[in-house]
Structure 1
Amino acid sequence: MISETVAEIRWRALDREGRDSCRLVRQHDDGWMLLGHARFRAAGSESRIDYLVRCDPDWHTLGADVTGIWDGTRVALHIVREGPTWTLNQQRQDGLDDAVDIDLSFTPATNLMPIRRMPEIGGVSVRAAWLSAPGAPLGPLDQRYTRGRGGIVHYAAEQTGFSTDLRVASSGFVTEYPGLWEAQGPV
């Protein structure tokens, strides 16, 4: 398998002490991978999480692995999407039949996939399989991304009521996630 790093980014957390770094890797003819390392402190506990997200050539999630310590809890998660079925550590996750993306709540990296699928004008609505906390099952997160001018993408998540304007690099990585993350390194 031949692969090449297409883009790299480092983020600094704005809502807590923390950082995240991620590489976008193209696997020739096989798709894409996001390889990342998130380190942050929240509620007095340190989190050290490594993540790998696998995507097909059209930017749909095939699976993810999340390992390390998350808010004081050891995690070793293996997530797989086969057609409409999602599993977490071999346990079927319900309510995700329309989900095509993974959303890892602790990193801005997973916004990249729907952003890469967006048309030049307009937007895209997606359902993501949302990993909101350690030990939680995957849940649905309906998201809308709408392209604006100057590298701005409006983001809204239905289940949480959260919305913001993201600044996005040509790579598809978010460079500014107001109040949460800002890029500190290459994009």
Structure 2
Amino acid sequence: MATLGRSALWRRLDTTGTEHVLYDDSQGLRARGTIISADPVPYVCQFQLLTDETWATRMLEVEAEGAGWRRRVRLERAAGRWRVTANESGRLDQLLARAGRPGAALPGAELPEELSPATDVDLQFSPLTTMLPLRRLGLLHEPDTVPHTITAAWVLLPELTVLPSEQTYRAIGDDKVRYQSGSFAAELTVDPDGLVRHYPGLADRVV
């Protein structure tokens, strides 16, 4: 991937952690990022993300690694269909059990066809990927407050399981977007490019 000329950094509000990304959003999005988190077990996650010019996701590749384990997943979308490949090594299940958390499902998608309605990806705990539907749907320039409901390919961290996720976005001001998925809802503060400045309970942008 070529050199990327912009960057953003967020700090986590719910645990010790950060997300740093390098990106270019001149014709869709090209991005490389690193997520570091202390919860539920310490891990580092590195990812590459590519969309087309309409901001529809073409590829997301993610690798998560901690002490004694590593997982990888790659999602590719073409002609409205998703291809998901994944692999794992190590003992993430044991570490999660010691931390009092449920065991990790296998990485990847058990039924990739369930992702077919999805145009966007949503990497858990990543403010960057919130940008994708905002730019693709043109919410930042929408004069009204019409809600938009989408399906995203939701990639869970650290296990890298991929699930379909129904999400609703609605512009509620010049720099505010209301997000809802299931019983969870939040009012996000974003900049003019759609990057999250403040995600309540999750992250604040530092630079």
When normalised by structure 2's length, the TM-score is 0.77
Q: Following TM superposition, by how much is the alpha carbon of 1:3 offset from its aligned partner in structure 2, in angstroms?
A: 6.7
Taking structure 1 as reference, are residues 103 and 70 closer, same or farther at Cα in structure 2, changes over 3 Å only? farther
Taking the TM superposition and a 5 Å limit, the aligned residue runs for 1:120-131 are 120-121=142-143, 122=145, 123-131=147-155
- Alignment correspondent of 1:38: 35
Q: Is 1:57 equivalent to 2:79 in the alignment? A: no
User: Which has more helix, going by share of residues?
Assistant: 2
- Alignment correspondent of 2:138: 118
Query: Which range moved further: 15-24 or 82-91?
Result: 82-91
Q: How many residues align?
A: 179
Q: Deviations over 1:99-136 (max 9, x none)?
A: 00011113111110111123423343211011124445
The answer as to whether partners of 1:114 and 1:124 remain within 8 angstroms in 2 is no
Task: Find the residue that maps to 2:55 and give its secondary structure.
Answer: coil
Rounded Cα–Cα distance in structure 1 between residues aligned with 2:36 and 2:196: 18
Taking structure 1 as reference, are residues 2 and 108 closer, same or farther at Cα in structure 2, changes over 3 Å only? closer
Q: Following TM superposition, by how much is the alpha carbon of 1:142 offset from its aligned partner in structure 2, in angstroms?
A: 0.9
AA paired with 1:129? A
Query: Which range moved further: 51-60 or 80-89?
Result: 80-89
- Alignment correspondent of 1:139: 163
Taking structure 1 as reference, are residues 149 and 27 closer, same or farther at Cα in structure 2, changes over 3 Å only? closer
Rounded Cα–Cα distance in structure 2 between residues aligned with 1:11 and 1:135: 21
Q: Is 1:162 equivalent to 2:184 in the alignment? A: yes
Query: Which range moved further: 89-98 or 59-68?
Result: 89-98
Q: What root-mean-square deviation, in Å, do the aligned CA atoms of Structure 1 and Structure 2 show?
A: 2.4
Which consecutive residues of structure 2, in runs of 5 or more, have no partner in the other structure?
Answer: 87-108
Task: Find the residue that maps to 1:89 and give its secondary structure.
Answer: strand
The answer as to whether partners of 1:73 and 1:134 remain within 8 angstroms in 2 is no
Rounded Cα–Cα distance in structure 2 between residues aligned with 1:177 and 1:112: 12
The answer as to whether partners of 1:46 and 1:72 remain within 8 angstroms in 2 is no
Rounded Cα–Cα distance in structure 1 between residues aligned with 2:26 and 2:193: 16
- Alignment correspondent of 1:10: 9
Q: Deviations over 1:27-60 (max 9, x none)?
A: 65xx4212211111013x2111111111010111
* Pick aligned residue for 1:94 from 109, 113, 119: 113
Which consecutive residues of structure 1, in runs of 5 or more, have no partner in the other structure?
Answer: none
When normalised by structure 1's length, the TM-score is 0.85
The answer as to whether partners of 2:43 and 2:158 remain within 8 angstroms in 1 is no
Q: Following TM superposition, by how much is the alpha carbon of 1:2 offset from its aligned partner in structure 2, in angstroms?
A: 7.5
Taking structure 1 as reference, are residues 180 and 55 closer, same or farther at Cα in structure 2, changes over 3 Å only? same
Percentage identity across aligned positions? 25
- Alignment correspondent of 2:20: 21
Rounded Cα–Cα distance in structure 2 between residues aligned with 1:114 and 1:53: 14
Q: Is 1:109 equivalent to 2:128 in the alignment? A: yes
Q: Is 1:81 equivalent to 2:101 in the alignment? A: no
User: Which has more strand, going by share of residues?
Assistant: 1
